[in-house]
Amino acid sequence: MQVIHTLAELRSALDAYRHPAVVPTMGNLHAGHIALVRQAKPLGDVTVATIFVNRLQFAPHEDFDTYPRTLEADCKQLQEAGCDIVFAPSEAELYPVAQTFRVQPPDALATILEGHFRPGFFGGVCTVVLKLLAATQARTAVFGKKDYQQLMVIRNMVQQFALPVHIVGGETQRAADGLALSSRNGYLSPDERQRAVLLSQTLHHVVQEVQAGRSSVADIAALEAQSMKTLSDYGWKPDYVHIRRRSDLQAITDTDAVVGHAVVLAAARLGTTRLIDNLEI
């Protein structure tokens, strides 16, 4: 496995290949990322993982400075997973001048749900993803469904810019108790880690209720409110629990088919750690 830090070296390493399959990450890898790498492997003639903590997608009050940088441990896991190339550029390499050309995703996708609570987040994600797809000459790129809205925004960007890359979604990997794997789980105290299971339990309850027939617009509003209350009652600070159409993440109407077409998405803070999760319904 080659670990490459510059665009020039990356270009020459990729010269020999026609179909890079790429997994963009911010590092601090866990089994969820490694599953994406394993999924990418048969989809290309070379497997590339990128590791870059992208300042553009962090708000000033967020954890950019403290986000764990664990390159050595990440490379060990990637090597074991059969990754061929790790592209881990410095900030100066990827943003040698201020990145004044930016991707501006449409408000309808980027100011709802996560975008409402993290203004500018999806613009930062799209800008770096566009750059990483160009740098790696990706023909396939794999993104986790754990970041469901991110996956949808990236799919739309790729489609509208006619980028020659196939976007693939990878299933969320979970701990034995159901907690979705996330680099930010490492911020949880032992007590919070035990309580963190409530987020996926709440989503499972919503899925069961909708599948059992509580799927009118009024039912959905009641389930969302009940889920927010459950989380609050157990000491969480929920930002949202929403049941949305999978296709565009907009609110469900009474004419929409729900089961097989919906997803429940949630974001909530436990102590100082903000967790997100979702389940397709």
Query: Which residues have a catalytic role annotated?
Result: 33
Residue 170 in contact with ligand PAF, rule: CB under 6 A: no
Fill in the DSSP letter of residue 251.
B
Q: Which stretch binds ligand PAF (CB under 6 A): 12-20, 88-96, 106-114, 125-133?
A: 125-133
Handedness of CA 157, 258, 210, 212 (dihedral sign): negative
Q: Name the token pair of 169.
A: 């979604």
Residue 149 in contact with ligand PAF, rule: CB under 6 A: no
Q: Quote the least distance from Cβ 258 to ligand PAF, whole Å.
A: 28
Closest listed residue to residue 74, CA positions, set 65, 61, 83, 64: 83
Site map 195..234 versus ligand PAF, x via CB under 6 A: ----------------------------------------
Residue 151 in contact with ligand PAF, rule: CB under 6 A: no
Q: Name the token pair of 30.
A: 């866990």
Residue 51 in contact with ligand PAF, rule: CB under 6 A: no
Nearer to ligand PAF, 150 or 215 (CB): 150
Residue 3 in contact with ligand PAF, rule: CB under 6 A: no
Closest listed residue to residue 223, CA positions, set 234, 213, 237: 213
Q: Which stretch binds ligand PAF (CB under 6 A): 18-26, 102-110, 165-173, 269-277?
A: 18-26
Residue 39 in contact with ligand PAF, rule: CB under 6 A: no
Q: Quote the least distance from Cβ 50 to ligand PAF, whole Å.
A: 7
The H-or-E segment that residue 196 falls in is: none
Residue 54 in contact with ligand PAF, rule: CB under 6 A: yes
Residue from 24, 32, 105, 238 touching ligand PAF (CB under 6 A): that is 24
For residues 200 and 182, the answer to whether their CB atoms sit within 8 Å is no
Would you list the DSSP string of 125-192? HHHHHHHHHHHHT-SEEEEEGGGHHHHHHHHHHHHHTT-S-EEEEEPPPB-TTSPBP-GGGGGS-HHH
Q: Which stretch binds ligand PAF (CB under 6 A): 21-29, 40-48, 193-201, 256-264?
A: 21-29
Give the number of residues in contact with ligand PAF, rule: CB under 6 A: 10
Q: CA–CA separation, 195 vs 214, rounded Å?
A: 27
Q: Quote the least distance from Cβ 197 to ligand PAF, whole Å.
A: 23
Beta strands in the chain (DSSP E): 2-4, 20-25, 46-51, 85-87, 140-144, 166-170, 237-245, 262-270, 273-280
Residue from 84, 147, 224, 277 touching ligand PAF (CB under 6 A): that is 147
Nearer to ligand PAF, 94 or 210 (CB): 94
Residues at the site binding ligand PAF, with contacts judged by CB under 6 A: 24-26, 54, 57, 125, 128-129, 147, 150
